[in-house]
Amino acid sequence: MPSVITANLLRSGAVAYLAADGRWVSTLCDAVVADDAVSFNTLKAAAQAAVESSEITAVYAFDVHVVDHVPQPISVREAIRAATATAA
Amino acid sequence: MYKYDDFDRTFVADRAQQFRDQVGRRLAGDLTEEQFKPLRLQNGLYLQLHAYMLRVAIPYGVLSSRQLRQLALIARKWDRGFGHFTTRQNIQFNWIKLDDAPDILDALASVDMHAIQTSGNCVRNVTADPYAGVANDEIEDPRIWAEVLRQWSTIHPEFTFLPRKFKIAITGAAEDRAAILFHDIGLKLVSGAKGAIGFRVFVGGGQGRTPYIAQELASFIPRNELLSYLEAIMRVYNMHGRRDNIYKARIKILVNALGIDEFRRQVESHWGELDKASINLPVAELSRITAQFSQGPLPKRENSDDAIKARRLRDRNFDRWFRTNVRPHRVTGYSTVNISFKKPGKIPGDATAEQMEVVAELAERFSFEEIRVTYQQNLALPSVAIADLMSVYDGLVVAQLETANTELITDIIACPGLDFCNLANARSIGIAQEIAQLFADPSIAEEIGPLRLNISGCINACGHHHVGNIGILGVDKKGTEHYQITLGGSPKDDAAIGEIVGPSFPAEQVPSAIRAIVATYLSQRISPSETFVVAYGRIGKDPFRSALYDAPKLSHTIDSALEVTHV
Ligand code: SF4
């Protein structure tokens, strides 16, 4: 299953996704998708480095569907995180 | 109200300063998240889905106007303009940045507030009857003892690393409005022989994964021996509570594993060995704290008001609000006003900065600068002169806080659920909004009568769904949000844990399920004075089950519900 690496930015707590250029972005559509073990391990190493440099915290990977090259969350939880709170 | 002395102020300011230093070290990379997490949790700072959440302690739900204004300032300056009142009489800010947390703690300390012990395995904020000190059925003001317990339990070295979190509730009234039977320890002030006042002590209640109603541990502990008795309970728990399994670590599991008699024997044996004199509260200290709560006689005010009578006759909305949200006060000429944060369609318990400021001002002008937070996620003005009720009402209308639904079906208790909470299975807020909209016509809600509806987004039960007359629990069913419905729970003197009525429903079916349940109640009740929970006790769950799970009957029941409710 393709997956995306996510975390919260340490300073703000905001939801962030790892992008292809190694930056942490706020939009899921800009996240890089790992679709095999090799790319996943590379991304995991980049995320670990960001944890150690105190940029992010609470890092983990979650499964996505890729539709027209854009990752779509599968779980409700990740859909809510990607959309920010649905309550208003 | 209790006023901090120099000791309290220095302590809280020092803690804020310590936390500033800890945050600085975390941001500089000198502390890892693993090292920092317990430090931030000790100061009420959680990391939730979208941001940090700061839970601020409101001891026994008592706030001054000045403090509420400061909470409004925090909401505006460091959050998104609102805060969320919780079922532990606290407030949470959902959109906090770690950078800002030290400034927020300073802002809190400047008005004698903090976030200490709002998280972690310690004694949490002691909750109390929201009408403490003003209720007309009270033996003694429980705020005095809640304050004593606050001071006793704050960074008590023995209780800093308990097996699990620990919650105490206290009431001094005949009616239990503090859900004391669903706390680790529930305390009720009672009269004993020769006019002595003491505590009836209950232990081992709780909700969560394994709900239990507390059992009586002692029928009468003299007031002056309370602290040593509680210390004995805590010792037994600290020694024997299970630390190997988080799901079995609460005192309720220990009490039920040992049995109440054996638990009592152990508590009494420890109590006998304690140096009670060194633990019990010195009389002078009790007098000092008691004096802070004595308000002196309230100014004399008229008990009835012709202008109010006339307004009730011509203004149906005011009349309804007067009936549902205003309650008697111990002093003639005064009343207590419930302020609903449950306007149908809004998020239960959310308050905007502007609303907080309006309430702070109304309290300043009409309620001796005091506000109460209720565990139903509302506010109350404890002492409003009857003659001032119209001014208060008109002030509330401006802030859209005049919803007349205290203890009615739209006064829904709901946790933040999957919209904010990291532990959630399902959303609570959207479901609460939809259900409230169904019964938004206040005459329908009033016709239905007293009905507690509670929603939790997971089995941790922060929305107290186990004790809702109708309880809704969010569950994860193969990755989709489903909701399990329980019926017949009650947090009051008729304490009961709700029974699961049948298989769970997907989110979109929950409102019609609730409508069918209400319709069944309306069609079955003997008279309007037979409340939902009483009717449920009489007829049991079968009629509700068949209304919910027998499809043709379901639509029929809904139609008749609307007929009945539109009478
Ligand atoms: S009940 Fe569950 S979802 Fe709701 S606030 Fe508590 S932990 Fe979160």
Q: What CATH number has the domain spanning B413-565?
A: 3.30.413.10
B561 pLDDT band, cuts 50/70/90, is low
Return d(Cα B89, Cα B52) in angstroms, integer. 20
Task: State yes or no: pLDDT of B272 exceeds 90.
Answer: yes
Phi and psi angles of residue B156, each rounded to the nearest 5 degrees, phi first: -65, 120
Task: State yes or no: pLDDT of B544 exceeds 50.
Answer: yes
pLDDT at B558: 47
B435, B510 contact by CB (below 8 A)? yes
Task: State yes or no: pLDDT of A35 exceeds 80.
Answer: yes
Task: State yes or no: pLDDT of B541 exceeds 80.
Answer: yes
pLDDT at B447: 96
Question: What 3-state DSSP class applies to B471?
Answer: strand
**CATH class of the domain at B305-398:** alpha beta
pLDDT digits (tens, 9 = 90+) for B356-389: 999 999 999 999 999 999 999 999 999 999 999 9
Report the candidate in B426, B406, B404 with the shortest Cα–Cα distance to residue B416. Answer: B426
**CATH class of the domain at B6-109:** alpha beta
The mean pLDDT value of chain B amounts to 95
**Residue B120 corresponds to which tokens in the numbers above?**
């972690």
Any CB–CB contact under 8 A between B432 and chain A? no
Assign domain B132-293 to its CATH architecture: 2-Layer Sandwich (3.30)
pLDDT digits (tens, 9 = 90+) for B123-146: 999 999 999 999 999 999 999 999
Question: What 3-state DSSP class applies to A29?
Answer: helix
Return d(Cα B258, Cα B256) in angstroms, integer. 6
Domain residue spans of chain B? 6-109, 132-293, 305-398, 413-565
Distance, CA B40 to ligand 1 centroid (Å)? 19
Question: What 3-state DSSP class applies to B543?
Answer: helix
pTM: predicted TM-score of the whole model, two decimal places = 0.95
Report the candidate in B222, B242, B236, B237 with the shortest Cα–Cα distance to residue B268. Answer: B236
Instruction: With residue B54 as reference, give the H or E element that holds it.
Output: strand B52-56
Looking at residue A78, the DSSP 8-state letter turns out to be H
Task: Check B419 against A81: CB less than 8 A apart.
Answer: no
Average pLDDT over residues B157-168: 94
Measured by CA distance, the residue closest to atom 2 of ligand 1 is B458
Task: State yes or no: pLDDT of B566 exceeds 50.
Answer: no
A59 pLDDT band, cuts 50/70/90, is very high
Any CB–CB contact under 8 A between B478 and chain A? no
B476, B434 contact by CB (below 8 A)? no
Report the b/e string of B210-221 with b at 16+ CB within 10 A: ebbbbbebbeeb
**Could you report how far apart the first and last alpha carbons of chain A are, in Å?**
33
Task: Check B479 against A14: CB less than 8 A apart.
Answer: no
pLDDT digits (tens, 9 = 90+) for B317-329: 999 999 999 999 9
Return d(Cα B114, Cα B105) in angstroms, integer. 6
Contacts of B268 (CB under 8 A, 6+ apart): B232
Phi and psi angles of residue A60, each rounded to the nearest 5 degrees, phi first: -165, 170
From edge to edge, which strands make up the β-sheet containing B326-328?
B62-64, B370-373, B379-385, B334-339, B326-328
Give the residue, B565 or B135, on which the prediction is more confident.
B135
Chain A CB contacts of B429 under 8 Å are 87
Residue B62: alpha-carbon gap to chain centroid: 12
The percentage of residues in chain B with a pLDDT greater than 90, rounded to a whole number, is 94
> Which residue among B421, B422, B481 is best mutated to probe the pocket of ligand 1, counting the most ligand atoms within 8 A of its Cβ?
B421
Task: Check B97 against A11: CB less than 8 A apart.
Answer: yes
Distances (CA, A) of B243 to B219, B227, B253, B317, B522: 30, 25, 12, 53, 47
**Residue B428 corresponds to which tokens in the numbers above?**
């609570």
Task: State yes or no: pLDDT of B226 exceeds 70.
Answer: yes
Task: Check B47 against A13: CB less than 8 A apart.
Answer: yes
Around ligand 1, the residues with Cβ closer than 6 Å are: B 415-417, 421, 423-424, 456-458, 460-463
B112, B38 contact by CB (below 8 A)? no
Question: What 3-state DSSP class applies to B89?
Answer: coil
Chain B CB contacts of A87 under 8 Å are 347, 419-420, 427, 429-430, 433
Compute the Cα dihedral for B412, B417, B418, B420 and give only its sign.
positive
Report the candidate in B519, B318, B323, B413 with the shortest Cα–Cα distance to residue B87. Answer: B413
**Atom number, ligand 1, closest to the C-alpha of residue B417:** 3
Burial class of B76 by CB neighbour count within 10 A (0 to 12, 13 to 18, 19+): middle
Neighbours of B368 (CB within 10 A): 17
pLDDT at B295: 81
Any CB–CB contact under 8 A between B170 and chain A? no
Average pLDDT over residues B310-339: 97
Please tell me which of the candidates A75, A76, A84 has its beta carbon nearest to residue B50.
A84
Question: What 3-state DSSP class applies to A88?
Answer: coil
Task: State yes or no: pLDDT of B554 exceeds 80.
Answer: no
Looking at residue A51, the DSSP 8-state letter turns out to be H
